[in-house]
Structure 1
Amino acid sequence: MGRRRDNLFIEGDNLDVLPTLEPGSVDLIYTDPPYNTGNDFAYADSFRSPDGGRAGRHRAWVEMMRPRLSAMRDVLADTGAIFLSIDDNEAAYLRLLLDEVFGEANFLAQVVVNLNPKGRQLGGGFATSHEYLFVYARDARRCVLDASSPDTVDASDFPLVSDDGRSFRHLPLRNTNKKFNPVTAPTLHFAVYGDPLTGEVSTTGFDGAVEVWPVFGDGRPAVWRWSRPRIDERPDDLVCREIKGRGGPRVDVFQRDWLHRDGGRRKKLTTIWLSEEVGSTDTAVAELKALIGHVFESPKPTGLVRRILATMPSDAVVLDPFAGSGTTGHAVALANATDGGTRRCTSINSAEPTRPGSNAALAGFATVADITRARLAAVERSIAG
């Protein structure tokens, strides 16, 4: 066991290590468990399938994962979330297993991650270019995960510029969702007053103002998105304009939606993450090679984990129970160095032997845990230096 500034590394089977961690002490789990390729698992426990077929391998994988997911759930805080990478071989089984352990109500997302944009060219069939991220909350009602990011905001969506140089766009103050109407939200159906020449808007009449009611495009009554008090608090963020309606010109009220307001803007993350946004297997190999050599075949890119980290507070306690090459710890150190965060990461890895004749073995790494340890030490040196 060795301590780093941002990282704690523990060598051992995660089924033995996880119960030693304090229950509810972890805010975020990201992990990349072993995929079911038909080979034996390093984490086989005592389970053995009576047959060697595909169904037996699925059962073996599920029985390997079930107690470990339960142990992960125990250490996860009520406000926390877990992200798991997986490919098509076990995606369906993992989804059912996560529903069992965490509960269907705590499912947050199934994200498609484009880690291999060129697609796998070996073998027959389709050129697979993606994997998945399953996202679950410990308790969806209390989870603090923010599924948005400043990195996905497109400045071109804000084409207007104010006199003081700020970019913005116009959004209808009217609620465009027809589920919200004078019947379902009666307190938001009221008249406001606006002058389409000056743009001024108020909840009370003034010289030159016309009365404006919220209506849908077809003329049916609608409701505003803002209450009277909010309109009174932020009149400078509203503008009255004449527009071309279906029945001819009419006056309506719009919100000035600023590109930057109150320290920054975020946009909801989609459930497809492209390699140009989060990195690819190729960039992940290059990251690891720059630190300790080409010693791991399919690491995850730090950009993927950094996007995950950005959904949680910057002081999150992070856990990776299948640490592999150490990508999670690396990403935590980079994120802290970038934004001044105080995230702490615990990485767990078993002493699984490296494959004889592999790049890792030829480089002197006897176990995968040796790779994790070496990478985290190299990250510490590179950031400190």
Structure 2
Amino acid sequence: MEAWNTFVEGDNLAVLHALARAGEEFDLVYIDPPYNTGSVLAYHDDLRGADGRRAGRHEAWVAMMRPRLEAARAVMSSRGAIYVSIDDNEAAYLRLLLDEVFGERSFLAQVVVNLNPKGRQLGKGFATSHEYLLVYAYDARTCVLDASSPDDVDARDFPQVAPDGRRYRRLPLRNTNKKFNPETARTLHFPVWGDPETGEVRTAAFDGGVEIWPVFGDGTPAVWRWSAPLIERRAVDLVCRRVRGRLGARIDVYQRDWLDTAGGRDRRKKLRTIWPADEVGSTDTAVAEVKALVGKVFESPKPTGLLRRILTTMPGDARVLDFFAGSGTTGHAVALANAADGGRRTCLSVNSAEPVRAGSDAARAGLATVADITRARLQAVADTVGGGFAEVSLGLLAAQAGSIADPLPEAVS
């Protein structure tokens, strides 16, 4: 069985090119690149402008990121999506760069992530408490990203109980947005028939049924959200009842919105574009997660809750790639998600052998490079969560013509 987590040490651009030559495809790419806070970038590309001068701060960062994003797109499947974490230093430049590489129409969201609820207290100005996630599809027409999650669904939001025990809530079948009316949506303004005693709704007259037109609360004409054929097909999901409005009693039609969806699938709730720390974790909880596995060896990891939320937007068999792997949070989250829901996700993590800071906790723990931290965490994840761990050398990856999923002579598990 293929290991849930595979690791490659090396320059991520070289790894991405090797993956492309091998014909590899990934459904989900997540990266947490350097935020360009003014320190020297660890990726030693020739960062010079077209006129030969040394690139400025933003220009150098974009020059470093552009070929990596282009190479990432080359290894994405047609159903795929990419999430990129970033802060205010390069958010504007990254948005423009992603528009160039993936196309403006592939933009899906800019999510605000509240990773530091207390806010940064050092320095002048505001106490910044957020970062961003920029989300793009490989191709918006074929992307399978589902911007919803089962995690925030609350059964208390579905107070009605059907005779068979299923829970539901009532949603007006009438479109409550006044922009949609008989003038703008002519085909959706028509009568239905309903019996408020039994709740039955049909598109044609029947014994006991009364004619019901869609109207707003002030009595002005409205339109339905469903077409007549859809109402006919899903009449079992509709109910009519007497209601008392501003103009007195009337009969209105409601959709039964079920907690348990058809086919036994988990009910999902549309994700908002602000993700608070109490839902996805914070930098503090992320540090604690790393510490529990390999010690306090990484200063600013991402919480697994953030990555697990991202994973819920993609299928349970997604091939995941993180080529700025840092402490290995993405691989950790993949293992946790698989263990929780029986998924078959795999993750390829890539990190360079950038030396850790002299005198740091990582150095005192005997971890000489950031790649050593990634490796140690993913091995600890395999030992505690399961799913296995394999390492592939960049040289072997570049030499092989097949898939990294094939048995590899240098793989360890």
TM-score, normalising length: structure 1: 0.93
Q: Share of identical aligned residues, percent?
A: 72
Q: Is the 8 A contact 1:79 1:143 kept in 2?
A: yes
CA positional deviation for 1:118: 1.1
Residue 45 of structure 1 is matched in structure 2 by 45
SS at match of 1:384: coil
Q: In structure 2, what residue type is equivalent to 1:15? A: L
Alignment of 1:77-226 (within 5 A): 77-226=77-226
Listed one character per residue, the Cα deviations across residues 17-46 of structure 1 (whole Å, up to 9, x for unaligned) are: 101113561110001001112111111312
Tell me what 2:353 maps to. 351
Alignment deviations for residues 245-295 of structure 1 (CA, whole Å, 9 cap, x no partner): 332221111112122222221111000001111111111111111111000
Alignment correspondent of 1:268: 270
Alignment partner, residue 10 of structure 2: 12
In the alignment, which residue of structure 1 is the partner of 2:313? 311
**Residues 1:51 and 1:20: Cα distance change in structure 2 (over 3 Å):** closer
- Aligned equivalents of 1:51, 1:38: Cα separation in 2: 19
Question: Aligned with 1:284: secondary structure?
Answer: helix
1:75 corresponding residue in structure 2: 75
Q: Paired residue for 1:335?
A: 337
Query: Are 1:238 and 1:253, in contact at CA under 8 Å, matched by a contact in 2?
Result: yes
- Look up the match of 1:33: 33
Shift of 1:171: 0.9
Q: Please, which moves more after superposition, 25-34 or 215-224?
A: 215-224
Specify the code of the residue in structure 2 equivalent to 1:153: V
Q: Specify the SS of the correspondent of 1:199.
A: coil
Q: Distance in 2 between matches of 1:171 and 1:295?
A: 51
Residue 51 of structure 1 and its aligned partner are, at CA, apart by: 9.0
Match of 1:256 in 2: 256
Alignment counterpart, residue 328 of structure 2, candidates 321, 326, 329: 326
**Structure 2 match to 1:21:** 19
CA apart distance, 1:4: 7.1
In 1, the alpha carbon distance for the partners of 2:168 and 2:226 equals 18
Secondary structure (helix, strand or coil) at the match of 1:306 reads helix
Structure 2 contact 217–247 (Cα < 8 Å) conserved: no
The one-letter code matched in structure 2 to 1:10 is V
Change (3 A) 1:72 1:57: same
What 5-or-longer segments of structure 2 have no aligned partner?
388-413
Once structures 1 and 2 are overlaid, which stretch shifts more, 156-165 or 301-310? 156-165
Helix, strand or coil at the partner of 1:226:
coil
- Which 10-residue stretch deviates more, 41-50 or 262-271? 41-50
Task: State the TM-score, normalizing by the size of structure 2.
Answer: 0.87
2:275 matches 1:242 = no
- Provide the C-alpha distance between the structure 2 equivalents of 1:44 and 1:219, rounded to a whole number of angstroms: 68
Secondary structure at 2:343's aligned position in 1? coil
CA distance in 2, matches of 1:384, 1:345: 13
Distance 1:194 1:62 in 2: 61
- Comparing 185-194 with 67-76, greater Cα deviation is found at 185-194
Contact kept in structure 1, 2:182 and 2:188, CA below 8 Å: yes
SS of 1:28's equivalent in the other structure is strand
> CA separation in 2, counterparts of 1:348 and 1:297?
19
Counterpart of 1:356 in structure 2: which amino acid?
A
Which segment drifts farther, 289-298 or 180-189?
A: 180-189
Question: Cα deviation per residue 1:307-337 (whole Å; 9 max; x = unaligned)?
Answer: 1011011111110010000111111111111
Residue 188 of structure 1: CA displacement? 3.0
2: CA distance, partners of 1:384 / 1:161: 40
**What letter matches 1:364 in structure 2?**
G
Distance 1:4 1:193, change over 3 A: closer
**Letter paired with 2:327:** S
8 Å Cα contact 2:30/2:322 also seen in 1: yes
Quick one: distance in 2 between partners of 1:188 and 1:315?
40
SS at match of 1:96: helix
Letter in 1 for 2:261: R
Which residue is 2:409 aligned to? Answer: none
33-42 vs 15-24, which moves further? 15-24
What letter corresponds to residue 312 of structure 1 in structure 2? Answer: M
3-state DSSP of counterpart to 2:385: helix
Amino acid at match of 2:15: V
Please state if 1:363 is matched with 2:365. Answer: yes
The 8 Å contact of residues 167 and 258 in structure 1, kept in 2 or not, is answered as: yes
CA RMSD, 1 decimal? 2.1
Q: CA deviation at 1:226?
A: 2.5
SS of 1:298's equivalent in the other structure is coil
Q: Deviations over 1:112-150 (max 9, x none)?
A: 001111111112221111111000111111111000011
The answer to whether the 8 A contact 1:4-1:377 is kept is no
Contact 1:277 1:303 in 2 (8 A): yes
1:295 aligns with 2:293: no
Question: Aligned pairs, how many?
Answer: 381
**Alpha-carbon contact 2:102-2:136 (below 8 Å) kept:** yes
Give the letter aligned to residue 135 of structure 1: V
Task: Tell me how far 1:48 sits from its aligned partner.
Answer: 5.2
- 75-84 or 202-211, which moves further after superposition? 202-211
